[in-house]
Amino acid sequence: MVDLSVVVLSWNVRDLLRQCLRSTLANNRPAATEIIVVDNASGDGSVEMVRAEFPDVRLIVNVTNRGYTGGNNDGIAAATGRYALVLNPDTQIVGDALVTLVQYADARPDVGVVGPQLLNPDGGVQSSRRRFPTLLTGLFESTWLQSLAPRGVLRDYYVQDRPDGETQEVDWVMGACLLVRREAIQQVGMLDEGFFMYSEELDWCRRIKHAGWKIVYLPTAQVIHHVGKSSEQVVAQRHIYFQTSKVRYFRKHHGALAAGVLRFALLAMYLAQLVLEAAKGALGHKREMRRERARAYWQVLRSGLRSDRSAE
């Protein structure tokens, strides 16, 4: 059996994908490793690049964009490894990270997910470990009000009370790179495709942890992450996906009331931002930028932050 299946989902990031694959192939990895690239209907020549430059990489070409969850599930379903490594295309493997992740998981059979330490391109540590969010977290984190959050709320959520360099059990790790044991996937299922993108790894880790597996942050394995290079291509849609997924997560794990409160609060924030941007534009301050922001916020309001799939 293959030890490690590296699943890389890509959408219109050809040059970053090339860099990711080169770093994966150039650095140490378990001897029995397969690399699977899933292309989510890119239009930038990514498929042709992989075929020409990486003939040994297994390529799955989707004719539509199946989102983060659908695309990664396609790769995981095709994987044969004891572990699946879900890896963003805007990442670079550092040194022995792949071997370190697999060796750690092999030594600890009660661990279902291992996440490496993510680094910014300049070498700084990127926040990648989390505790499960509370409703208060959801109201402040990644919203207009984040700077006003009570200090303890986000400090607890981002696990800022523990050192970055300490191996530790956590509630969940970021999906830019996470190693998942095959037995854990078989027990709880794959990513929930009701999340097109965002909050899917949170939901997956929660299901895996509640099934009795441990989730571990392992800083001795390091991966460089360039952050959001696919999602930044569609700004308004990114807001919609992010906040809709957040609401869906709370509906799924905390009930309809919590999700309703959160959705109402988020929509009220976007309405306030829309009014503010329109007012600034009317006063002649950076009108084009204000117009673009107002258009994005209006699209969010029109969406209602409602998922078209029920939380099951």
Evaluate whether residue 308 is within a structural domain: no
Query: Which amino acid, one-letter code, is at 109?
Result: P
Compute CA distances 297 → 17, 61, 83, 254, 257, whole Å.
31, 33, 40, 26, 24
Evaluate whether residue 218 is within a structural domain: yes
Give bridge partners of residue 11 from the DSSP assignment.
none
Question: pTM value?
Answer: 0.91
Q: Are 153 and 288 members of one domain?
A: no
Q: Are 256 and 213 members of one domain?
A: no
Q: Are 142 and 212 members of one domain?
A: yes
Evaluate whether residue 18 is within a structural domain: yes
Say which CATH number the domain at 203 has.
3.90.550.10
Q: Are 209 and 238 members of one domain?
A: no
Q: Are 17 and 165 members of one domain?
A: yes
Q: What is the pLDDT of residue 208?
A: 98
Evaluate whether residue 43 is within a structural domain: yes
Q: How far apart are CA 215 and CA 251, in angstroms?
A: 23
Q: Are 211 and 111 members of one domain?
A: yes
pLDDT of 217-236, one tens digit each? Answer: 999 999 999 975 544 444 67
Q: What is the pLDDT of residue 312?
A: 43
Evaluate whether residue 285 is within a structural domain: yes
Of 208, 227, 246, which residue sits at a domain end? Answer: 227
Q: What is the pLDDT of residue 311?
A: 41
User: If you write DSSP's letter for every residue of 201-235 in order, what string do you get?
Assistant: HHHHHHHHHHTT-EEEEEEEEEEEE---TTGGGSH
Of 197, 227, 257, which residue sits at a domain end? Answer: 227
What is the residue range of 167's domain? Answer: 4-227
Evaluate whether residue 311 is within a structural domain: no
Q: What is the pLDDT of residue 95?
A: 96
Of 227, 261, 277, which residue sits at a domain end? Answer: 227
Q: What is the pLDDT of residue 295?
A: 87
Q: Are 95 and 241 members of one domain?
A: no
Which residues contact residue 254 at a Cβ distance below 8 angstroms, ignoring those fewer than 6 apart? 135
Evaluate whether residue 97 is within a structural domain: yes
Q: Are 101 and 179 members of one domain?
A: yes
Q: What is the pLDDT of residue 290?
A: 83
DSSP state at residue 132: P
Evaluate whether residue 206 is within a structural domain: yes
Q: Are 114 and 158 members of one domain?
A: yes
**Coil, strand or helix: which one is 17?**
helix
Q: What is the pLDDT of residue 232?
A: 47
Q: How far apart are CA 149 and CA 27, in angstroms?
A: 41
- When divided into structural domains, the chain yields a total of 2
Q: Are 21 and 140 members of one domain?
A: yes
Q: Which helix (H) or strand (E) holds 280?
A: helix 256-282
User: If you write DSSP's letter for every residue of 32-67 in order, what string do you get?
Assistant: SEEEEEEEES-SSSHHHHHHHH-TTSEEEEESS--H
Rounded (10°) CA dihedral 33, 34, 40, 45? 100
pLDDT of 171-201, one tens digit each? Answer: 999 999 999 999 999 999 999 999 988 999 9
In the predicted model, residues of the chain with pLDDT beneath 70 are 228-235, 308-312
Q: Are 135 and 194 members of one domain?
A: yes
Six-digit token string for 106: 């092999």
Q: Are 87 and 216 members of one domain?
A: yes
